[in-house]
Amino acid sequence: MQPLGLRGLVAAGMTPMRPDGSVDVERIPTLVDHGEREGVAAFYVNGSTGEGPSLAGWERRSTAEAWVAAARGRLPVVVQVGHNSLVEARELAAHAEEIGADAVSAVLPSYFKPPTLEAAVDCLAEVAAGAPTLPLVYYHVPALSGVALDVPAFLELALQRIRTLAGLKYTEPKVFEFQACVERFGARIDCLFGADEMLLSGLAAGAHGAVGSTYNFAAPLYRRLIAAFERGDLEAARREQARSVEMVRVILRHNGNAGLKATMKLIGLDCGPSRLPQVTVGGTELEALRAELDAIGFFDWARG
């Protein structure tokens, strides 16, 4: 299967929730409209940013349906279907194919982790079998999944067995390993970089596309970064990346992933609370986050 051809910024979509913690799919079209205005190239949904692992199967299905319906004909949607149950992952993949998603993606099982590269490929092949007509993106995020493997060696085996494997979402700071993937497989699959605060490094290593959480509310910053890199102005690119680093450090000090959702609220796109075990940022902590972001100029340089 040919690469997806994803280029530029792929926003890791958030899952809106009501005050009682239930999923609020009615707000998803607004997020699609916002992303399109901000210049993102696609959406990656039900991943870490979208709290996919914390959603019930039926919630993941309804959320995927809402994203695909809202974005159809406008922007591609990649649905993350990874699950500790490969039976469920395969069914989620089949559902994504049925509703017209543009691709599926999967993290490997993280409770009982695959003990060998061959077992890891077996797991991914099971997921791929659920959506035989859709491109598949392997989601590598060892900080959350705990599945640390030799990615180039894994891709070598996986490409021999999984004809739909068309992409890699690489969320780890080992730029040298990401570069090895680009050099060896970049002509066959899309190698998407997944560390927002290191995007410049990813671009230098050969990335043409990137998946990230902060692209939801700081896409203008990253578009300037990419433009500066492409015209060879590394000083300007480093300046934008330094702002990204500072922004991410502030946000992660406020309950990690939940701080991302809180930042959406601060720009006027309230996505509701985070779901346990993540702790919602609200009250005085939300105001502290606002103050810290304001102090670094976020509301000026990240938004325009």
Q: Which residues are catalytic?
A: 139, 169
For residue 237, which amino acid is it?
Answer: A
In which residue are the tokens 């699950």 written?
83
Lookup: tokens for 158: 């996986």
Would you list the DSSP string of 64-100?
Answer: HHHHHHHHTTTS-EEEE---SSHHHHHHHHHHHHHHT
Distance CA 39, CA 159 (A): 32
**Collapsing DSSP states into helix, strand and coil, what is residue 129?**
helix
Q: Give the Å distances, CA to CA, from 126 to 52, 56, 141.
A: 19, 20, 19
C-alpha closest to that of 24 among 62, 51, 68: 62
CA torsion through residues 114, 118, 124, 126, sign: negative
Using DSSP, state whether 240 is helix, strand or coil: helix
Please state, in angstroms and as integers, the Cα–Cα distance from residue 208 to each residue in 78, 94, 126, 127, following that order.
Answer: 17, 28, 28, 26
